[in-house]
Chain A
């Protein structure tokens, strides 16, 4: 947080989309003229039908896609203007969680998590200390030496979350993280995200899970046809179709 001369709080935005338009090479228009601001510490749901542009919007934040027009600011930097060797550094500030977990099947739970630290060049000593702590946080310490195939989907997603937060990211991007889970397990996973958010990490989550969105009473950004159709604090899912 910053303060200006008159001691009025100036809200610092973690993410700022300025008039972002994305047209893919094949002519498909994924986003048109999106302007969106997200503050540090927020928990934001992105909802909308499949193909509405939710994933494209998230990919812009971690520079997997570039906007055709417009700018994307993240953490005070213009993501569009990053040099390619700065991209890995950007991504180390962002934890990503996916519907299909994206764990490496030939690595154990602990190895999957430590992999995230290894690729950033962390020391062995730090990895040995950090991995058990984060596995403890997601309740997977007992299964540290299991392989992904040996644990349930909910447990695999806990490992995915552990891997996302082990770098202490400022932002978590979750793309339908409960999409492959039964409702009870999904609730547990959402509770985990809630705890992480309460500790100060910003979370952006794309989801189709109506009951989860309605339960959480958080900010809901609705996207349809590449445009933001509504943006409400403490919103509900409610789509006409």
Chain B
């Protein structure tokens, strides 16, 4: 395609975009809103992935043993745990060490432990799973072992996190789907108005022997520009919003680690811009197909 033809398309598209006024504003905004939601959802998914990965290394299963077990039995239970599929690491914590740790974590209030006649804590194994998702199942199987008094793990935290984000993901994808369809509809309506405003010019062009694509190209360009404008808006909103969020959380909730901004913005803008352009082009194709196709022979 010649440069002058491309310039012609851009010029004609801009004229239409300005002429359509509020329709253009509405189309661009709804593209922007749907892409902001998509961007937010992608960030949410990225962050829950990141968080669960970090939690995973922290989620341990504590297997407390019955009291007065023979050393051989303790060892046997250890072997059984170690040989279970999905177990990454097993550490034996004798009751003395557990007491020390407890004292340490209580700090100045460790006084209360001094009054105890005997160590109330049982021997325990600390187990790390290969995958956070396997933790509940592993815990269940350890509970069945003879000589095991009780099994504990960060019960609920992992499941809750996963189910909440799962729900949010479904909700935001649904919303984004609905808004995406509205964006398509608005863009195609916009293009239809442009086609209508130019119907005289289009009929003259056809008589002069302009090819179909020469006539259609400015309308495609118009859709593309609207999609791109909406996407740029969305990228700006998502970017500024995320940077602000990361800053805020760093101060008020320092133990939550979000994916750093630079890492997020290697992929997200490209994806949003690409999708915006696709919505724009597809929206204008709908109108072009309906209002600029030929009489069939």
Q: Which of A81, A85, A88, A102 contacts B204 (CB under 8 A)?
A: A102
Pair A167/B209 contact, Cβ less than 8 Å: yes
For residue B211, which residue of chain A has the nearest CB?
A: A88
Q: Is the CB of B297 within 8 A of A119?
A: no
In the complex, which residues of chain B have a beta carbon less than 8 angstroms from the beta carbon of A167?
A: 209
Q: Which residues of A contact B295 (CB under 8 A)?
A: 66
- Closest chain B residue to A80, Cβ basis: B297
Query: Smallest distance from the beta carbon of B208 to chain A beta carbons, Å?
Result: 5
- Give Cα distance in the complex from A84 to B210, angstroms: 12
* A77-119 interface bits toward B, Cβ cutoff 8 Å, 1 = contact, 0 = none: 0001110110111111000100000101000000000011011
* B297 A91 Cβ-Cβ under 8 A: no
Task: Using A104-B201, A121-B2, A124-B4 as known contacts, say yes or no to A115 and B208 having CB atoms under 8 A apart.
Answer: yes
B185 to chain A, nearest CB (A): 28
| A-chain residues with CB within 8 Å of residue B210 when the two chains form the complex | 88, 119-120
CA separation between A121 and B200, bound complex, in Å?
A: 20
CA distance A38 to B210 in the complex (A): 26
**Contact B212 A85, beta carbon cutoff 8 Å:** yes
Q: Mark A35-48, 1 if CB is under 8 A from B, else 0.
A: 00000000000000
Contact of A91 among B2, B4, B207 (CB under 8 A): B207
Q: Given the complex, which residues of B lie within 8 Å of A84, measured CB to CB? A: 212, 294, 296-297
For residue A17, CB closer than 8 A to chain B, the reply is no
Render A122-134 as a binary contact track against B, CB cut-off 8 A, 1 for contact. 0010000000000
The chain B residue with its CB closest to the CB of A105 is B200
A104 and B210 CA atoms in complex are apart in Å by 15
Interface membership of A62, Cβ < 8 A: yes
Instruction: Give the Cβ gap from B82 to chain A, nearest Cβ, in Å.
Output: 73
Q: B206: which A residues are within 8 A, CB to CB?
A: 88, 91
Number of A-B contacts (CB under 8 A): 50
> Which B residues are CB-close (under 8 A) to A92?
208-209
* A84 vs B294: C-alpha distance when bound (angstroms): 7
Cα distance, A88 to B209, chains bound together (Å)? 4
Q: Is the interface of B mostly helix, strand, loop or mixed?
A: helix
Give Cα distance in the complex from A102 to B201, angstroms.
9
- List A residues 15-62 near B (Cβ within 8 Å): 62
Interface centre among B208, B210, B214 (most CB of A within 10 A): B208
CB distance from B293 to the nearest CB of A (A): 9
Residue on A nearest B293 in the bound complex, by CB: A84
The interface residues of chain A lying within 8 Å CB-to-CB of B8 are 118
Q: Give the residues in chain A near B211, CB-CB below 8 Å.
A: 85, 88
Residues of chain A touching chain B, judged by Cβ–Cβ distance below 8 Å, are 62, 66, 80-82, 84-85, 87-92, 96, 102, 104, 115-116, 118-121, 124, 163, 167
Say yes or no: A120-B297 contact (C-beta < 8 A), given A102-B204, A104-B201, A104-B204.
no
Contact in complex: B2, A66 (CB < 8 Å): no
With CB as the reference atom, state the residue of chain B lying closest to A90.
B209
Contact A91 B209 (CB under 8 A): yes
Q: Does B205 contact A (CB under 8 A)?
A: yes
- Given A66-B295, A80-B297, A121-B2, answer yes or no on A91-B204 (Cβ-Cβ < 8 Å): no
Let me know if A96 and B207 touch, CB within 8 A.
yes
Most buried by A among B5, B201, B210, B294: B210
Which residues does chain A contribute within 8 Å of B212, judged by CB atoms?
Answer: 84-85, 88
Q: Which of A66, A119, A124 contacts B209 (CB 8 A)?
A: A119
Please give 8 more A-B residue pairs, beta carbons under 8 A apart, in addition to A66-B295, A116-B208, A163-B208.
A85-B212, A87-B294, A91-B206, A91-B209, A119-B210, A119-B214, A120-B208, A124-B4
The chain A residue sitting closest to B1, CB to CB, is: A121
B87 to chain A minimum Cβ distance, whole angstroms, is 67
Taken residue by residue from 194 to 205, chain B's Cβ proximity to chain A (1 for < 8 Å, 0 otherwise) reads as 000000110011
Chain B residues with Cβ below 8 Å from A121 are 2, 5, 214
Contacts of B209 in A (CB 8 A): 88-92, 119-120, 167
- Give the distance to chain A from B56, nearest Cβ to Cβ, in Å: 59
CB distance from B255 to the nearest CB of A (A): 64
